[in-house]
Amino acid sequence: MAYSFPEEVLEHVFSFLSLARDRNAVSLVCKSWYEIERWCRHRIFVGNCYAVSPEIVIRRFPELRAVEMKGKPHFADFNLVPEGWGAYAYPWIAAMAEAYPFLEEIKLKRMVVTDESLELISKSYKNFKVLVLTSCEGFTTDGLASIAANCRHLRELDLRESEVEDLSGHWLSHFPDSCTSLVSLNMSCLGSEVSFSSLERLVARSPNLRTLRLNRAVPLEKLANLVRHAPQLVELGTGAYSSEIRSDTFSSLADAFSACKQLKALSGFWDVVPSYLPAVYSVCSGITSLNLSYAAIPSSDLVKLISQCQNLQRLWVLDYIEDSGLEALAASCKDLQELRVFPSDPFGAEPNVSLTEQGLVSVSEGCPKLESVLYFCRQMSNAALIAIARNRPNFIRFRLCIIEPQAADYLTLEPLDAGFGAIVENCKELRRLSMSGLLTDRVFKYIGTHAKKLEMLSIAFAGESDLGLHHVLSGCDSLRKLEIRDCPFGDKAVLANAAKLDTMRSLWMSSCSVSFGACKLLAQKMPRLNVEVIDERGPPDSRPESCVVERVYVYRTVASRQRLDMPDFVWTLDEDSSMRYS
C-alpha cells in the first residue's frame, strides 16, 4: 500500500467523474477504490426503483446529495399498468430521510408520491433544493404547500405532466417572503388558479429565476406583468394565450417580451388566439426550443412563427402544422435537432388535417442535424421510410406511430418491414426505436442484424411468431429496455434468451402469448430476475400452466423478489419455487 496514492488524492481525481458509468467502472478496479469511490459519490440514478432496495443504496453510498429514480414501466403512461401496481416513493423517502439529512435533490419519474412523502421531504432535509416530479401521481396541492412553506432554500420545483389532485391554488402563497432562491418553477400541469399577486411577488423577489412555466389558469393579460418582473428568464411557459383582441394588451405583451434578451424556450400556449402570436416575434431569433403541442394554431400562423425562429433546435407541435408547415420548417430551421408531431384528433376515424408521411420526408431532407423524431400520422409507405433513412443516417431516436394498428404501406399494401429495416440499417447510432404499422418477423431480423446500438425498443401489434422476438433478443447487443404489447410472441423466444434478460433493465410483455408455465420456469432459471405476472383474472395457479398471462414484467434486481407492496394482481416466484402473492 506504500505505493498507492493517498485517499484524498484519489477522491479528488474521482470528483471529476460525473457519469455514473465511469464511476461504476472505477469502483470495480479494486477494493480500496471501491471504498473511496462509494464515500464520495454524491449523485445516483436508479432506473428501476425495484431493482434495488433503499437499504442497499444507503449501505453502499452514505454521502448522497442527489437521487434520481424511475418507477413504473414506460407503458404505464398508456394505461397498460393497472393502478396500484406499485412504485411508491414513500419507502425511499422515509429511508433516505434518516440516512441523508443533507440530501438536496430528488427527481422522480412515474412514481406514486403522496402528500406524506412531500411533507417528509420538506421537513427532513434542511438543505433541500431540487424537486422534479415527472409523470408522478398521488399527491395534492397540500403536499406542494408543505414543500413551499418548509423548504427554505428551494431552487427547483418542477411538476412535469404529473397528475396532481388540485384542491386549490393557495399552495403558492405558502412560499415565505424570505424565499428568494427560486430558479425554476413548473406548475403547468395544475388546473386551478393561483393567487396572481402571490405569484407576481414570488417572481419579483426571485432574481435567479430562469424557468417559469405557468398553468393554463394564468390569463394572458397578466402575463406581461410577470414577464416584466423577470427579464432574465430563459424558459417561459405561458398560460392561456387567449384574450379579446386589444391593442394595449398586445403592445404591453410585445414590450415585455422584447425585454427578455435571454429567452431560449417557449411553451404553454393553451387556447391560442393567433393574433397574439406576433407578440413573441421579438424573441424568436433566440428561441431554440418551442413547445406548441397544446396549441391549436392553423398551419399558416405556425409557419409565420416558425420562419422567424432560425435557431430552432427543438420543436413540439400538433399535426395542424400539416405537410406544408413541415416543408416551411425544413426550409427555415436548419439547426433543428428534435421534432415531435402529436395528433390533434387521435380517435377520429378520418384524418382532420393533411399531415402525411411527406412532412417527415421533407424535414429529413431539409434539416441536416435532425436526430430525434416522434411522429404520429395516419399513413406511411416503405418508400418514404427508405427515403428518410437515406436522408438522415444520424437518427438517435426514431419513434413512428401510425394511428391505425397494423396499417400496411398505403401504396403497395405490403408490410412496413423494408422501411423500418432501412432505418435500422442506415442509422447506425440509433438508440431508441418505436414501431407501428403492419410488421412481420422480417423487420425483427433486420433489427437484430443491424441495430447494435439500440437501447430501447417498443413494439405493438407486430410480428408473426417467436422468431421475431428471438431475433431481437439475440441480435441487439445494447438492448436495455424492451416493451411489447399485443404481439404473438410466446415462451420459446423468452426462455431461449433468458440469459439476455439479465443484461437488460426490463422486459414488458402484455397481451402476448407467454404462458404461466414459462414465467415460472424463467423465474426458476434466473434467480436474479424478478418475473412479475400481472394478471387481473385471479391467481394463475387456478388455471392450467399453459394458460397465457395477461402481462409479464421481467426486470433484474438485487433486492428481494417479493416486494412488500405487491398488490393482489401481481404474482412473483417465491423462494420455495411457487408463485405467491402478497
Partner 1 sequence: MASASDCISQTGPGLKERNYFGFSDCSSVDRSTVSSAHLESKNNMNMKATELRLGLPGSQSPERDSDFSLLNSVKLDEKPLFPLAPSKDRICTLSQKTVASGNKRGFDDTVDGFSESKTTNFSEGNWMFNATGSDPGQAKLAGNVISIRPSGTQLAIKSEVPAKTLQESTNKIIGTNTANAPAAKAQVVGWPPIRSFRKNSLVTTSKTNDEVDGKPGPGALFVKVSMDGAPYLRKVDLRMYSAYKELSSALEKMFSCFTIGQCGPQGAPTRKMLSESKLRDLLHGSEYVLTYEDKDGDWMLVGDVPWEMFIASCKKLKIMKGSDAIGLGSSSYQVLLHFKAKKSLMYPCFVWDLAVYQCFYKESFRPDYGSDVPECFVLMSDISFICLLAFSCVFLECLLRLRLYLLFILNLDFLVEAQ
CA distance 122 to 124: 6
The number of residues that bind partner 1 (CB under 8 A) is 51
Residue number with CB closer to partner 1 (274 or 286): 274
Q: Binding pattern to partner 1, positions 351-390, x when CB under 8 A?
A: -x-----------------------x--------------
Work out how close the CB of 240 gets to partner 1 at its nearest, in angstroms, rounded to a whole number. 9
For position 293 contacting partner 1 by CB under 8 A, the verdict is yes
Among 43, 205, 543, 580, binds partner 1 (CB under 8 A): 543
Stretch that binds partner 1, among 6-14, 44-52, 64-72, 264-272 (CB under 8 A): 264-272
Which sign, positive or negative, has the C-alpha torsion 13, 17, 20, 21? Answer: negative
Q: How far is CA 81 from CA 501, 579, 582, in A?
A: 20, 20, 18
Q: Binding pattern to partner 1, positions 498-537, x when CB under 8 A?
A: --------------------------------------xx
Alpha helices in 30-188 (DSSP H): 31-40, 54-60, 90-99, 115-124, 141-150
For position 300 contacting partner 1 by CB under 8 A, the verdict is no
Residue number with CB closer to partner 1 (36 or 400): 400
For position 83 contacting partner 1 by CB under 8 A, the verdict is yes
**DSSP bridge pairs for 316:** 291, 340
For position 297 contacting partner 1 by CB under 8 A, the verdict is yes
The distance of Cα 489 from the centroid of its chain, to the nearest Å, equals 26
For position 275 contacting partner 1 by CB under 8 A, the verdict is no
Among 78, 177, 247, 576, binds partner 1 (CB under 8 A): 78
Sequence-separated (6 or more) residues with CB below 8 Å from residue 136? 89, 108, 109, 110, 111, 112, 113, 159, 162, 163
Residues 185-204, interacting with partner 1 (CB under 8 A): 189
Q: Which three cell numbers stand for residue 546?
A: 399453459
For position 568 contacting partner 1 by CB under 8 A, the verdict is yes
Among 47, 219, 278, 539, binds partner 1 (CB under 8 A): 539
**Radius of gyration in angstroms for the set of CA atoms belonging to the chain, rounded to a whole number:** 25
Sequence-separated (6 or more) residues with CB below 8 Å from residue 526? 498, 499, 501, 502
Q: Where are the beta strands (DSSP E) in 511-578?
A: 529-534, 551-556, 570-573
Count of CB atoms situated within 10 Å of the CB of 68: 17
Q: Which three cell numbers stand for residue 290?
A: 418551442
For position 163 contacting partner 1 by CB under 8 A, the verdict is yes
For position 345 contacting partner 1 by CB under 8 A, the verdict is yes
Residues 410-449, interacting with partner 1 (CB under 8 A): 434
**DSSP bridge pairs for 318:** 342
Residue number with CB closer to partner 1 (511 or 562): 511
Write out the residues near partner 1 by the rule CB under 8 A: 75, 77-80, 82-84, 135, 161, 163, 189, 242, 270-272, 293-298, 320, 342-349, 352, 376, 401, 403, 405, 434, 458, 460-461, 485, 536-539, 542-544, 567-569
